[in-house]
Structure formats: C-alpha cells, structure tokens
Amino acid sequence: MRILFKLLAIVVVLGAIAAGFGYVAVTNGMFEIPMVEMKAKWALPNSKYLDVDGIQVHYAEDGDKNLPTLVLIHASFMNLRSWDQLTKDLSSQFHIVRFDLLTFGLTGPDPKNDYSTERNLLIVDTLTKHLGIEKFYLLGTSSGGPVAYRYAAEHPDRVERLVLINCAGMPRTEFNDPNRARGNSIEQWINARYKSREYWRNNLTQNYGSVKPSDAIVDLVYDNNRRKGDLPTTRSRTRNYHPEEPKQTLAETLAMITSPTMITWGMTNPTVMHLEADVFSLWLSNAPSLVKKYPKVGHYYYLEIPEQSAKDIAGFLKGDMDADLRITKRLPVTQAAVQ
C-alpha cells in the first residue's frame, strides 16, 4: 500500500511540474515562431513587400501581366500560400495577385492597431494601384469574402467579376458566431494563447469533406497562427471582426454590387451553411449572379477539389457560364405590405 501511495505522489508531483512548465511555456511564448523563421519557411521565390500606411504587406504575382488580373483574398487562419495549387492551375490563363491579410502570413502588424475590414480594403486598393492594375477580377473566401464584396460594392468601376467561396458576412448569433468561446475555462485560457498542431489538424478535418487535410496545409495553418508577438494583435483583430456591416445592412451592401458574381459553396460546410449562398444571390439584386454548390466537400473545398475549382473559376471569369447568370430584383417593402 505504501508503494502505491508513493507512486500516486510521484504522479501528482510530475503532473504539477508538467502543468507548471506548460503554464510558463504558454505565457512566455515558447511555442511561438519568430518572423525570421516564418519568412525562411514560407516566403516564395517571388515574394514582395509593399508599405501600406505603415503596414508591411506581403504579396506575390504569378502569370503574364498582360493577362487579365485575378486578385485572391484568403480565409482566416490561412495566408496566401493556401492559394498555391489554385495559382498553379490558373496562372497560365490569368495574372494572379495574392497577398497576406493583416496579422497573417508574412504581413506585419498595423502600427495604428487597426484591424478592421477597412484596413484590408485599403490594402487591396493600394496594392492594385501600385501594380498599375485598373480593373481586375476579385475572389474572396470565408472571412476574406467580406473584404471582396465590400470592395466590389465600393469600387464597381474596378471589379469586373466577383467570386465568393463559402463567404462569411451573414449576421451571427451566440450559437453560430465563429469567435464564440469553446470548451471549459481551462481550455479557453490555453486556446486563447496557444493552439497545438493537433488542434489545427482537428479543426481543418472538421471543415473538410470527404478527404483529409494534408500535412503541408496543417503545418501552414499551425505556423501561421503562432507568429511571435501576435497574441495582442490577434485579440484586437477578433474584437474588430463583425460579420454585420458597420454602415448599412448586408443586403444594402450587396445591392451596391454590379459585377457579375459567382457564389460557390461546399455542401458539407459546418462553418457557414450552404443555404447562405442562396441569400447572397437574392441580395445581389443589381448584379447578375449564379450559385454553384459542391457535394461532399467543406469549407476549404478549393483545397479538396482543386482541379474542379480552377476549371469552374476560369469558366466563370471567361464568361462560359453567363447563360446561368440571373438578376434578382427585390421590391422595396412598403408599410402597407407589412400591415
């Protein structure tokens, strides 16, 4: 019996030591990756940087500059490297411009500590003008979608066609808010400071459909979300992220868009329901639009079925699907109609 108690005591002590080490490691950023290592690991041979109002923005160009330009805006937790395969598949047909959103990839923090959508809109505007691009196609996915559709709404003369993939932007409740707290208080404390590689593998797996995320994409997301010194900016970005529009309703914003728009969705997407695609189409009341849904794939379907994704994006941008475009004219709701 004494031996058993001694063993239990040893286990308790070792557990306390491990917990103490974990606490120190997490609070002191021992699992974080310095930016110099991020650049060494994730920069591309054609990586470039542009100062946008004090923000060092990482971007890359692929394809012939004489071809029509397609600007890609990535999802939360990702960066421009998530577009590697799509860029490879499309760069023979388009001039591809992709960049890292604020606090992601190799784009630096904002010296003004402003992580609103407006700052990312500024990046799109400044970068494309810096590159001498007057008009372009624009594609946004997930939380990059609101950046794309807001830019298209505010600059209808510059965006020729718009593609939205599993787009965020619909109003959320406390039950479907992507930033809602998960797990018990201890898990919330840890996840607010550090998310393990296994955490991100599970997160990606839940958001995929019939295939599993590759080790490469897990590594990308894991490193992307443990940049050294990013905890304060990540918290600020989360506080500043609001799916609802700040000045008008989402329906009013989408009604400002006139560019032909393709809305695509993965049917098994657990983050944003595929029925939201139909609402986007309905509210694009002044833009020809079409909805395309893919079975058995999820939130990151362009990583699951890259060849089909590239084919459909290219087809839409070239006008091959124009016969399927439609305009939904919404009549204003009068007081008499609701009485």
| Pair 271, 178: CB distance under 8 Å | yes
* Lowest-confidence region among 16-30, 68-82, 270-284: 16-30
**Same-domain status, 191 and 230:** yes
**Same-domain status, 39 and 169:** yes
What is the 3 state secondary structure string of 41-97? HHCCCCEEEEEECCEEEEEEEECCCCCCEEEEECCCCCCHHHHHHHHHHHCCCCEEE
- CATH number reported for the structural domain that contains residue 324 in this entry: 3.40.50.1820
**Same-domain status, 110 and 152:** yes
Residue 335 lies in a domain: no
Tokens of 48: 């470039």
| Pair 168, 272: CB distance under 8 Å | yes
Question: pLDDT tens digits, residue range 61-108?
Answer: 999 999 999 999 999 999 999 999 999 999 999 999 999 999 899 999
Question: pLDDT tens digits, residue range 99-158?
Answer: 999 989 999 999 999 999 999 999 999 999 999 999 999 999 999 999 999 999 999 999
Residue 105 lies in a domain: yes
For residue 20, the enclosing domain spans: 1-30
Q: How far apart are CA 79 and CA 5, in angstroms?
A: 51
Residue 337 lies in a domain: no
**Same-domain status, 22 and 146:** no
The pLDDT of residue 22: 42
Residue 333 lies in a domain: no
DSSP letter (8 states) at residue 36: H
**Same-domain status, 150 and 67:** yes
Q: How far apart are CA 131 and CA 109, in angstroms?
A: 22
**Same-domain status, 109 and 73:** yes
**Same-domain status, 180 and 198:** yes
Beta-strand ranges (E) seen in 134-258 are 136-141, 159-165
**Same-domain status, 5 and 145:** no
Question: pLDDT tens digits, residue range 230-246?
Answer: 755 554 555 555 555 55
The pLDDT of residue 328: 72
Q: How far apart are CA 211 and CA 213, in angstroms?
A: 7
The pLDDT of residue 327: 82
The pLDDT of residue 271: 87
Residue 339 lies in a domain: no
**Same-domain status, 184 and 164:** yes
Residue 183 lies in a domain: yes
**Same-domain status, 324 and 219:** yes
The pLDDT of 298-321, averaged and rounded, is 98
**Same-domain status, 70 and 203:** yes
Instruction: Give residue 4's identity as a one-letter amino acid code.
Output: L
Q: What is the number of structural domains in the chain?
A: 2
Position 20 confidence tier, pLDDT thresholds 50, 70, 90: very low
Residue 263 lies in a domain: yes
pTM listed for this prediction: 0.85
**Same-domain status, 230 and 249:** yes
Nearest to 102 by CA among 238, 301, 303: 238
Residue 52 lies in a domain: yes
